[in-house]
């Protein structure tokens, strides 16, 4: 909904805000830890490597261990200003509601009051990082790496230092010959596992919170890179019922159109987000970032915006700039539509809103990486995790019923049937992914050849890396 001029201006808020002074930080560290910066660290670079709205990060060397570390320091007096900001926001939102009753934003103030105090406590962040690390601890292979937290107070955190670059830095990816398609796919796997299997997810994975680096020795990554997830202040739990229903919803969006698919989409939208039939088209566009999917009984293949519609997310055409602009204009100009969007935001459970935010961030990362696969490639990854989540739930229900009621031939038959259906679907998607990856490689090779023809080998490498497209 926001123009590029606004979003590009606000992008520096991720990691390029105005830093706090060394003197103010030193006084805060002394107050919180009982020691000055000089007493805690043999080396301390006063120039921060990143400055976000809540904190800034410096490089240093720990006096006790001698290790190179990253020191995250909250901006001094931030907590006092945060109270003023929350009160001001609550007051403004209340007046907006009074003057414009159709614009309901008071839930934003409630979210701020609930989550901002947690983000201001680095001990809470350290706990989230430990839990997320434990969730992936038993994986033999994973590209995810979460930096170790050595110690933390409420406003001072000392962590493992990671040398890397923003995950969307195409120059860096080219230099280390990291496949940007793989990066996008691994991001989807990491966050799909968090949402659909673990039920505990990082809710703010913008590019400033994601570093990429070449895989070090003894890495668990199956590729030549690791994705380092930073800033664990904002996480959310999802209860099992919501998690499984949300998986069912995505499976219905990915399924071919049929009367049953059409019914399932609306059924699980109601269960997940309290979405009635009137609100469903807006909800579907919000969750997928696309114009509405075509139902089986509908005759027209095009939307009122003039774009060809697909029956499922897997056969959707790549999204064009014209489609994005048309959707934006529709939201802003079509009578009653923006009010419906605001009502949708007000009505949905907060956890679902955070999942939608996560979906949007990962979609934007795929775009920023200029991948050569279509968005359907990401949806196949989501579908595999959703199908796994549903199968695990069915298996757990079987054993729960077995303990409660004893053996049952029909229950065992249903379990075997579910297992066969799961593997047929899951393995079928894997074969589809192989085909998509071959097509993506062909597109990348074509870009390489065009770059070679235009600018020699240097141009070929840059074109294949998405730098001259």
- Catalytic site positions: 204
Alpha helical stretches, state H, 202-311: 240-254, 259-273, 280-288
Token duo for residue 427: 């393995």
Distance between CA 89 and CA 103 in Å, rounded?
15
Could you tell me if 205 and 361 are in contact, meaning their C-beta atoms sit under 8 angstroms apart?
A: yes
DSSP for 121-188, written as a single string: -HHHHHHHHHHHHHHTTT-SS-SEE-PPEEEE-SSEEEEE----EETT-HHHHHHTT--HHHHHHHHH
Q: Is 213 left (phi over 0), alpha (psi -120 to 50) or beta?
A: beta
Cβ atoms within 10 Å of 375's Cβ, excluding its own:
20
Q: How distant, in Å, are the alpha carbons of 101, 111, 339, 348 from that of 97?
A: 5, 16, 13, 18
Q: Is 289 left (phi over 0), alpha (psi -120 to 50) or beta?
A: left
Angle at which helix 337-347 crosses helix 280-288, to 10 degrees, equals 80
Token duo for residue 281: 């088209």
Token duo for residue 368: 């920023």
DSSP for 41-59, written as a single string: EEEE-SS-SEE-SSEEEEE
Helix, strand, or coil (residue 60)? strand
Helix (H) or strand (E) holding 377, with range, is: helix 375-405
Helix, strand, or coil (residue 219)? coil
In degrees to the nearest 10, what's the CA dihedral of 218, 224, 230, 235? -90
- Which residue in 447, 387, 426, 362 sits closest to 190, CA to CA? 362
């Amino acid at each position: 909904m926001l123009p590029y001029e606004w979003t590009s201006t606000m992008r520096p808020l991720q990691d390029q805000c105005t830093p706090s002074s060394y003197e103010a930080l030193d006084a805060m560290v002394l107050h919180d830890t009982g020691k000055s910066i000089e007493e805690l660290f043999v080396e301390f670079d006063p120039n921060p490597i990143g400055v976000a709205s809540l904190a800034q990060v410096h490089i240093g060397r720990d006096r006790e261990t001698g290790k190179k570390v990253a020191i995250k320091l909250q901006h001094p007096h931030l907590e006092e200003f945060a109270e003023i900001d929350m009160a001001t926001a609550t007051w403004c939102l209340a007046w907006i509601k009074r003057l414009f009753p159709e614009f309901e934003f008071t839930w934003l103030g409630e979210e701020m009051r609930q989550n901002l105090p947690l983000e201001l406590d680095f001990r809470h962040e350290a706990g989230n990082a430990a839990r997320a690390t434990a969730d992936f601890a038993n994986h033999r292979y994973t590209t995810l790496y979460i930096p170790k937290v050595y110690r933390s107070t409420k406003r001072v955190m000392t962590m493992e230092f990671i040398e890397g670059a923003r995950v969307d830095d195409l120059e860096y990816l080219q230099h280390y010959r990291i496949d940007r398609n793989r990066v996008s796919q691994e991001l989807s796997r990491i966050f799909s596992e968090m949402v659909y299997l673990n039920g505990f997810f990082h809710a703010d994975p913008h590019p400033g919170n994601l570093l990429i680096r070449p895989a070090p020795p003894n890495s668990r990554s199956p590729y030549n890179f690791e994705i380092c997830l930073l800033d664990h202040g904002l996480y959310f739990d999802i209860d099992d019922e919501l998690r499984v229903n949300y998986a069912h919803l995505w499976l219905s969006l990915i399924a071919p159109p049929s009367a049953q698919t059409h019914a399932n989409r609306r059924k699980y939208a109601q269960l997940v987000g309290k979405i009635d039939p009137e609100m469903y088209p807006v909800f579907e566009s919000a969750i997928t970032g696309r114009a509405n999917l075509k139902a089986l009984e509908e005759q027209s293949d095009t939307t009122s915006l003039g774009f060809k519609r697909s029956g499922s997310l897997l056969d959707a055409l790549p999204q064009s700039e014209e489609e994005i602009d048309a959707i934006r204009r529709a939201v802003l100009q079509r009578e009653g539509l923006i009010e419906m969007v605001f009502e949708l935001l007000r009505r949905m459970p907060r956890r679902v809103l955070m999942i939608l935010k996560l979906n949007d961030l990962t979609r934007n990362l795929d775009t920023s990486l200029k991948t050569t696969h279509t968005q359907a490639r990401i949806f196949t990854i989501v579908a595999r995790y959703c199908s796994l989540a549903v199968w695990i739930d069915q298996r757990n229900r079987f054993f729960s019923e077995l303990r409660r009621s004893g053996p049952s031939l029909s229950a065992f038959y249903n379990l075997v049937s579910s297992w066969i259906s799961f593997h047929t679907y899951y393995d079928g998607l894997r074969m589809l992914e192989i085909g998509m990856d071959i097509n993506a490689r062909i597109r990348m090779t074509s870009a390489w050849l065009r770059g070679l023809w235009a600018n020699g080998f240097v141009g070929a490498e840059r074109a294949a890396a998405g730098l001259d497209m």
